[in-house]
Amino acid sequence: LRRQLIFIRRHLSFIFPVHKLLLLKMKRMNKHS
C-alpha cells in the first residue's frame, strides 16, 4: 500500500505541471482568436 502511495504521488507530480502547461496554452490560443 505504501509503495502504491509513492507511485501515485510521483505520477501526480508529473501530471500537474503538464496540466498547468496545457491550461496556459489554452489561454494563449483564446487570446489569439
Convert the pLDDT of each residue in 1-15 to its tens digit: 789 988 888 888 888
- Residue 6's H or E segment, with its range, is helix 2-32
* Whether the predicted pLDDT of 33 surpasses 80: no
Distances (CA, A) of 27 to 1, 3, 7, 12, 32: 38, 37, 31, 22, 9
pLDDT over 70 percentage in the chain: 97
- Give the DSSP letter of residue 3: H
Q: Residue 30: which pLDDT band, with cuts at 50, 70 and 90? A: confident
Q: Residue 25: which pLDDT band, with cuts at 50, 70 and 90? A: very high
Q: Domain limits at 16?
A: 1-32
Number of domains in the chain: 1
Report the first-to-last Cα separation within the chain, whole angstroms. Answer: 47
Q: What is the pTM of this model?
A: 0.45
